[in-house]
Amino acid sequence: MRSRLLAALLLASAALAGGGGPPVQPVLKGDTQLHDPTLLKVGSAYVAMGTGIENVDGGTLRLRTSPDGITWADAGTLGVRIPDWISDQIGTQPPNLWAPTLSMHGGTTYLYYAVSVFGENTSVIGLSTNAKLDPKHPERGWVDRCPILTTKKSDPFNAIDPYRVNTPDGKAWMVFGSYWTGIKLRELDPVSGKLKGGRQYDLASRGGGAVEASTLVQHGKHYYLFVSFDRCCAGVDSTYRIIVGRSTALTGPYTDREGVPMMQGGGMQVQATKGNHIGPGGQEVYMDGAEQRLVYHYYDGNQNGVSHFQTAHLGWDADGWPDLGALPNGGN
């Protein structure tokens, strides 16, 4: 009897210590209605930002704040109107701004975002910076740095869905792209945040098919490229899913678990529709202290496809492939 009791206690201790695998994704509370989310920890607080709502509040980027990363509140929008230079870049006044990403370097916060003519690669990536982001007032302190990359119909790629990664060697890079010839990588000046000259690297492609929302993270000896496959932005009819590949070099080549190159459509599925947790994607990696986490959006089948954001601990299996853990409430 004592030996059985001891065995049960040891099993319970192992489960509490995380021996049962990656943690279940947390149940987020409050206002989590964001699309294409980005998330940044500032001090002990958290700021999230997402795509603007078409023709609402000027279509500017949406803000959410949290004291603990669990309970979220609406913090309004970033500004009240779209910058004037954007219509000059794409030839029309867009209804909203897309897919922001927040990062920090040397105490400065960098915000990259995209604007596009829907269904075309007439697009532009813009940049704003903030010398001291206040998590209580994340709408304040931003300086518009104007466009850093524009594409037009004659270009074979699409300047949307930017993500900045700062590497241990002091360099900075931007990964971006959607459909067309796929996901690209360019080097940035780490201080100005703008593009440097040099090569543009090809990281992933589906031969013109749906691949977008790229993000990069280093774990062990590998870099991991997360992307979203398939149909976005269709509510409960969305088929978005989160895909990953890895490489020993930031610049690629990236392959999936079976060795299929991501430039040939390869990729390992990390998360897809389950229950009322529909079309997960639009993901990016962020740091919560020393912990690597992923934030993404999904369409809630319980609310007729309203878009919410969700966070997950970025766990790793024995072979070094990512595991996001179980969905909160089993996806229902």
Catalytic residue set: 36, 212
Please give the distance of CA 89 from its chain centroid, rounded to a whole number: 24
- CB–CB of 306/299 below 8 Å? yes
Q: Distance between CA 285 and CA 316 in Å, rounded?
A: 14
3-state class of 200 per DSSP? coil
Task: Find the Cα–Cα–Cα–Cα dihedral 232, 233, 237, 238, rounded to 10°.
Answer: 30
Q: Distance between CA 78 and CA 158 in Å, rounded?
A: 24
127 backbone dihedrals φ, ψ, rounded to 5°: -140, 135
- CB–CB of 196/234 below 8 Å? no
59 backbone dihedrals φ, ψ, rounded to 5°: 75, 15
Q: Distance between CA 62 and CA 50 in Å, rounded?
A: 5
